[in-house]
Amino acid sequence: MGCIFLLCTLFILQVVPDRFEDDPPKKLSIVQAIERARVKNPNYLSAEASVEAAHADLKGALGMLLPNVRVQSNYTHFINPQVFTIEPRTFINPTKETIRFTLLPNNALDATGVLTQPIFDNLAFSGYKSSKINLELAKLKTIKSFNMLALQVKQSYYQVLLTKFLLEVNIVTLDYANQNLDVVEQKYKNGETSEYDLLRARVQKSNAYPPFLQAKNNLIKAKNTLRELLNIPFEHDFVLTDTLFEKVPQRLDTLVTSQDVYSSTDYMVQELNEVGASQQIKVNEAEYWPVLSFNGTYQRSFLNGLNPATGYLDYNAFVGVRLTYTLFGGGARKAKVEKAKAMFSMARLSKENSFLDLKKKLIDSILEVNRSVSEIEAQEGALNQARRALEIAFERYDLGVGTQLEIISGQESLRAAMANYANAYYEYLINMSQYDYLTKDYEAEY
């Protein structure tokens, strides 16, 4: 039996797919990264589960409006049944023998079926409407959760691209420093350069190594952040197929309208929160309303067993309408209504504050995007100048009028210019992704 159980377990594990166990990708575009996060990220899957829970609550609320049928059965055995005796030679019993009969049977079995159908139940109806609002709210929150997840994935993806580029820059810089030191040491031995140039070359190499190590660690940490978001094992490596400089920077229109805020998922969540709070007032107020329901009961009783010779069968049926109204509930209903009204006021204020906050974030986001574009343009000019300065340094060195120190200085300036340009581009992508989060629905886009 143990072997059979083990074989069945292995079969189930092979047949039933696990959404968390798969072959992690070796190459990832930003679109593929977001799509993987949708099906692998535990936080987002938890948000999706909340929609399923809201669906179940809605079904439960609907059940309060549908017919309710229940069946029950009781069996009773009397150990000392009550016996009624009539003495002989009396007016009631003129015979010579005593008459004895049992008032209650020795055994009694009954089965009862009860049908209840609400006719008017404002509390149940209000609860059903509240459950529908909660379902829509759960769906909206799931969309918001996915939008946030997409934002995190994009920003983490860009972070990996930036750290990878900066590592490549530092590798080239370290290689330049080693080459410069070799050249300067040889020239110093030949008496063709000064000790100052030699020290400067050694300082360049020493200064180049710590940034290289830092860039290497930054890339590892950035990849680990992305692995966590995509639920990829930390020991698994992958390559990003997009590049840091793929998008052409574009300025945004500075005009922000109220419609831009209304179409934001964050604002729609706040708006639906207000609707839900308003409906909760109606739910609590519905406890003051009477409840009218139809009730039908059918009962069968078997007395002294099921044998027709010794027992008998009894039938009963009842049909009626029930009206229930609570005259006094100790003040609990009033307290619930007051609390619901306070929560509604809080939800309305939160919505109004959300409108102002989102509009400010939109304006700030646009300003940051446009500033990043200007920063890219300025850093691009500085990068071109640094490249040209290094070219001139090499030309002067070849003509014999320049020094190795000019080349070292030019290389360091070029490295700094490349890093500044990459960081400016990264800031543009981060600011643009923040703007997209405020204005786009990634759920529909992906």
Q: What is the pLDDT of residues 261-299, one digit of tens each?
A: 999 999 999 999 999 999 999 998 888 888 888 888 888
Please report the pLDDT score of residue 11 as a whole number. 37
The answer to whether the CB of 266 falls within 8 A of the CB of 360 is no
Please report the pLDDT score of residue 400 as a whole number. 82
Looking at 3.40.630.30, 3.40.50.1240, 3.40.50.300, 1.20.1600.10, the CATH number of the domain 22-80+120-294+330-445 comes to: 1.20.1600.10
Low-confidence ranges of the chain (pLDDT < 50): 1-21, 305-310
Q: Determine the Cα–Cα distance for residues 156 and 430; give it in Å rounded to an integer.
A: 9
Distances in whole angstroms, Cα of residue 195 to Cα of each of 175, 404, 405, 422? 22, 12, 11, 35
The per-residue pLDDT for range 75-105, each reduced to its tens digit, is 776 666 666 677 777 777 777 777 766 555 5
Exposure string of 250-272, with b = 16+ CB inside 10 Å and e = fewer, is eebeeebeeebbeebbbbbbbbb
pTM of the model: 0.78
Among all chains, which residue has been given the structure tokens 């049977």? 105
Please report the pLDDT score of residue 171 as a whole number. 93
325 burial (CB, 10 Å; 0-12 / 13-18 / 19+) is exposed
Q: Determine the Cα–Cα distance for residues 169 and 218; give it in Å rounded to an integer.
A: 13
The answer to whether the CB of 305 falls within 8 A of the CB of 311 is yes
Q: Determine the Cα–Cα distance for residues 166 and 422; give it in Å rounded to an integer.
A: 8
Q: Which residues contact 162 (CB under 8 A, 6 or more apart)?
A: 222, 244, 422, 423, 426
